[in-house]
A and B are shown apart, each in its own frame.
Chain A
Amino acid sequence: DAKTTQPNSMESNEEEPVHLPCNHSTISGTDYIHWYRQLPSQGPEYVIHGLTSNVNNRMASLAIAEDRKSSTLILHRATLRDAAVYYCILRDVGGYDKVIFGPGTSLSVIP
C-alpha cells in the first residue's frame, strides 16, 4: 500500500483557515487522494478526494501538488465542530481497495 505521512497534531484558532498537510511521495498514477475525518466517539466521515486537480466542496478544499507527492486539506474557516482526527489516505482509482487508516492528524480548534 502506498503510504502517507501527516503531522501528529495541529492547532488552529476558531474562524481561521487551517492547512493540513499530507506527504505521499510513493503515490502511483492510479491513486486518488482521499481525506476522511473522525469526530470524537464517531465513525469516520468522508471529506474530499482528488486525483490531480484541486477540488472544492462544501466541507473543504484539496490542494494537490503538481508532482502529486503531497497535498493539503484546507478548512477555510475552522469551527469548534472541526476538531477531529483527519486522515489522508491513498485509494486505487477503482475504489475496490480496503481503506487502511494511518495515525492521522489530530486537529484542535481553540475558541
Chain B
Amino acid sequence: GAVVSQHPSRVICKSGTSVKIECRSLDFQATTMFWYRQFPKQSLMLMATSNEGSKATYEQGVEKDKFLINHASLTLSTLTVTSAHPEDSSFYICSARGRGRTGASEQYFGPGTRLTVT
C-alpha cells in the first residue's frame, strides 16, 4: 500500500508554545488529508479534513484557531497546535487519500505523532 509519513514521531513542548506536525504522502498525490487525535484507551477522533489548496473543514468542537491546518501541496499537510497546554497532549494521526494504482480512492494512515505538553 501507499506510504504516509509523519514528523516528528514524538515531541515534547512547554505549555504556551506552538508545535508543528508534518504529514507527507510519499508515493502518491493526496488530494485530501485528514487529521485525527487519540487519547489513551480511546478511539481515533477526526479533527479536520483538508483539501489541497483549500481551507480545512473542522469537526464540531475542534477549535480551528488552536489547530491550524495547512495543505499547501498534494504531498504535504501540516498541523500546528498553537499555545499548547497539557490537555493537548495526545497521539495525532494524519491520513491521506488519493488515487491508488487501481484508480480507486483509498485512505492511508501515518504512524502518528506523540505530543506531550509539560
Contact = CB atoms under 8 A, between A and B. Distances in A.
A43 B4 CA distance: 10
A44 to B, nearest CB: 5
A92 to B, nearest CB: 10
Contacts of B46: 98-101
Contact of A95 (B34, B43, B91, B105): B105
B44 interface: yes
Contacts of A36: 109
Interface in B1-41: 1, 4, 6, 34, 36
Nearest to A102: B43
A96 to B, nearest CB: 6
Given A43-B93, A46-B1, A94 B105 contact: yes
Interface in B64-118: 91, 93, 95, 97, 104-112, 114
Given A43-B6, A46-B108, 19 more contacts: A41-B91, A42-B111, A43-B4, A43-B109, A43-B112, A44-B93, A44-B109, A46-B1, A87-B43, A94-B105, A95-B104, A95-B105, A95-B106, A96-B97, A96-B105, A100-B46, A101-B44, A101-B46, A103-B43
